[in-house]
């Protein structure tokens, strides 16, 4: 996950502001004849991110007008999704866009139907023509993803919060779309630096536009404990009181955590909470002396080294602690998974590590959840149904890769987060003012140009559950920092998780990605203007 030979220097937001200044600025609509003509031409059907499974252009475009209704039928879920779409489009178009359950053949129609089983739980069909635009799905998730496709088919100015000049056209034709993988995740480290509820929600909005469906929250580490636990209150009040560099930390109350979970669910994201153990536990060890083998609490830690902390594996109180923490978090988390970390436990002997994981995994199952761990879990005995999250990289030794592949052959499922491909906190190049480089530099092309299906040679295809893009926060402390490192790379990882392998082509992708630049400008996302992408006006 993170190696100890990293730079500890932090970069301030002033440096980011300077770097973010490289980001393109969208021209105001109606700026000239050429621009108006461009705006009038709808985005070619399917020229979006992630690439759809199939797109058949044809016929007249659909145009949103002052008379447009969003027709949702009697479904409560469809009404909520239709309301979200209306909230996006009303400010920019100036149209009322009434959300109604009245049936009709015109307008934007959001339909839930169980008839087309080929759409699965997350697929959708979008049909655009002269009089109507219809999105059909079997489940609300598919309907939501169809709406995200609709947003990208509209001009970027549709995302703005002020009135803009149309027209608001969607190219004619049919898109039928289903995801390649069930797990399409993004991880946010709120332990090294604490991010408020509003900042987490902002990132949720951004990732959901690209059909990401898992939000992995790294809630505990050496530098901070970020979730209230009633049975061990000092974890949050003391262990969460600081962060990297010594600044004021913070933690989520149970009500705040539930608010994040609910908000994520409204964007079709499942929250996966992580409590890292037995290593990466200094915040817990500092909070409760009895968790230490010598009974002495260490001081709080605000640096960035790793591998020095460990829960006391042989103490019974350790497992009381684990049971309490997992029980309380499981009660707050409706999703299927709890992540138990397990990486860089350098201060835990192999024997103790195996013993610890053998005791902790059944606790996760006891409270109705499935365990996920970093891929070091495969060095122990993964429980039935457990998922190992692989964070090695191209240079990772053959023995370590073989250990993971052998576990997969025995039934352990895998989520792929190779550090030199998917880690969003790696620098783009030597001049990147934020991030780290222990896994090398990760350009936008490098982050996209790999295939999850073939990355771990020998791993059964059915073992690969999907991909996840972690964002570690040693050098990141603001939403602007998050956005600069996540964009433009996060959409590429999202495409690897969603789109068919047959669509994977850097030269085609970079053109579609470049078209997202004006959309990010409209949304106020300060992205890195990667030199390997042909941004508009470049």
Q: Torsion-angle region of residue 427: left (phi > 0), alpha (psi -120 to 50) or beta?
A: beta
Is 483 buried (19+), middle (13-18) or exposed (0-12) by CB count in 10 A? buried
d(CA 223, CA 304) in angstroms, rounded, equals: 8
If you compute the radius of gyration of the chain from its CA atoms, what whole number of angstroms results?
23
Closest CA to 93 of 48, 44, 38, 159: 159
Terminal CA-CA length for the chain: 36
Give the C-alpha separation, 494 to 519, whole Å: 17
Report which of 181, 316, 213, 337 is spatially closest to residue 274, judged by C-alpha positions: 337
CB distance 468 to 389 below 8 Å = yes
DSSP 3-state of 221: coil
What is the spatial distance between Cα 110 and Cα 145, in angstroms, rounded to a whole number?
A: 11
Phi, then psi, of 215 in degrees rounded to 5: -115, 105
Distance CA 176, CA 125 (A): 4
349: how many CB neighbours lie within 10 A of its CB? 11
CA distances in angstroms from 163 to 158, 248, 492, listed in the order given:
9, 39, 31
DSSP state of 51: P
Q: Provide the 8-state DSSP code for 388.
A: E
Q: Known catalytic residue: 328? A: no
Positive or negative, the CA dihedral 342, 221, 389, 474 is negative
Let me know: does 269 contact 225? Beta carbons within 8 Å: no
Q: Does residue 202 contact residue 479 with C-beta atoms inside 8 Å?
A: yes
Exactly one of 344, 474, 483, 495 is catalytic; name it: 344
| b/e per residue 284-316 (b: at least 16 CB within 10 A) | bbbbbeebbeeeebeebbbebebbbbbbbbeee
Among 222, 221, 190, 225, which Cα is nearest to 204's?
190
Nearest CA to 6 out of 207, 349, 303 is that of 303
What is the set of active-site residues? Answer: 344
């Amino acid at each position: 996950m993170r190696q100890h030979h990293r730079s500890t220097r932090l970069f301030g937001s002033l440096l980011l502001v300077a770097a973010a200044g490289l980001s393109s600025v969208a021209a105001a609509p109606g700026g000239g004849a050429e621009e108006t003509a461009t705006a009038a031409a709808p985005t070619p059907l399917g020229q979006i991110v992630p690439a759809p499974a199939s797109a058949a252009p044809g016929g007249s475009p659909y145009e949103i007008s002052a008379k447009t209704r969003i027709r949702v039928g009697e479904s409560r879920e469809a009404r909520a999704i239709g309301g979200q779409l209306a909230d996006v489009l009303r400010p920019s178009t100036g149209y009322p866009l009434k959300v109604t359950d009245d049936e009709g053949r015109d307008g934007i129609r959001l339909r839930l139907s169980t008839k087309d089983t080929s759409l699965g739980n997350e697929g959708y069909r979008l049909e655009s023509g002269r009089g109507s635009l219809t999105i059909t799905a079997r489940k609300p998730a598919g309907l939501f993803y169809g709406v995200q496709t609709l947003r990208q088919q509209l001009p970027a100015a549709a995302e703005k919060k002020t009135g803009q000049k149309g027209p608001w056209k969607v190219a004619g034709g049919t898109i039928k779309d289903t995801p390649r993988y069930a797990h399409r995740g993004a991880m946010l480290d709120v332990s090294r630096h604490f991010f408020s509820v509003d900042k987490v929600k902002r990132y949720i909005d951004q990732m959901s536009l690209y059909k990401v469906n898992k939000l992995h929250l790294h809630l505990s580490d050496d530098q901070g404990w970020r979730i209230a636990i009633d049975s061990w209150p000092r974890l949050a009040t003391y262990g969460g009181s600081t962060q990297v560099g010594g600044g004021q930390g913070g933690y989520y109350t149970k009500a705040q955590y539930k608010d994040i979970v609910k908000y994520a669910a409204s964007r079709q994201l499942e929250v996966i909470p992580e409590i890292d153990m037995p290593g990466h536990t200094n915040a817990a060890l500092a909070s409760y002396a009895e968790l230490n083998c010598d009974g002495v609490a260490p001081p709080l830690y605000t640096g960035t080294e790793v591998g020095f902390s460990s829960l006391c594996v042989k103490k019974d109180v350790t497992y009381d602690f684990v049971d309490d923490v997992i029980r309380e978090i499981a009660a707050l988390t409706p999703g299927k998974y709890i992540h138990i970390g397990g990486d860089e436990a350098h201060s835990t002997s192999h024997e103790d590590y195996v013993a610890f994981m053998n005791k902790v995994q059944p606790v996760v199952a006891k409270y109705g959840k499935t365990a996920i761990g970093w891929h070091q879990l495969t060095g122990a005995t993964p429980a039935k149904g457990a998922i190992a999250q692989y964070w090695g990289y191209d240079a990772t030794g053959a023995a370590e890769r073989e250990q993971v592949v052998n576990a997969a052959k025995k039934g352990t499922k895998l989520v792929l987060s190779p550090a030199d491909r998917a880690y969003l906190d790696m620098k783009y190049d030597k001049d990147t003012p934020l991030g780290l480089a222990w896994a090398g530099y990760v350009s936008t092309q490098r982050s996209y140009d790999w295939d999850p299906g073939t990355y771990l040679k020998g791993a059964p295809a059915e073992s690969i559950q999907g991909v996840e893009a972690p964002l570690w926060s040693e050098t990141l402390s603001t939403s602007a920092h998050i956005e600069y490192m996540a964009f433009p790379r996060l959409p590429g990882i999202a495409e690897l998780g969603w789109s068919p392998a047959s669509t994977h082509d850097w030269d085609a992708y970079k053109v579609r990605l470049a078209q997202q630049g004006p959309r990010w400008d409209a949304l106020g996302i300060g992205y890195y203007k990667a030199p390997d992408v042909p941004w508009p006006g470049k």
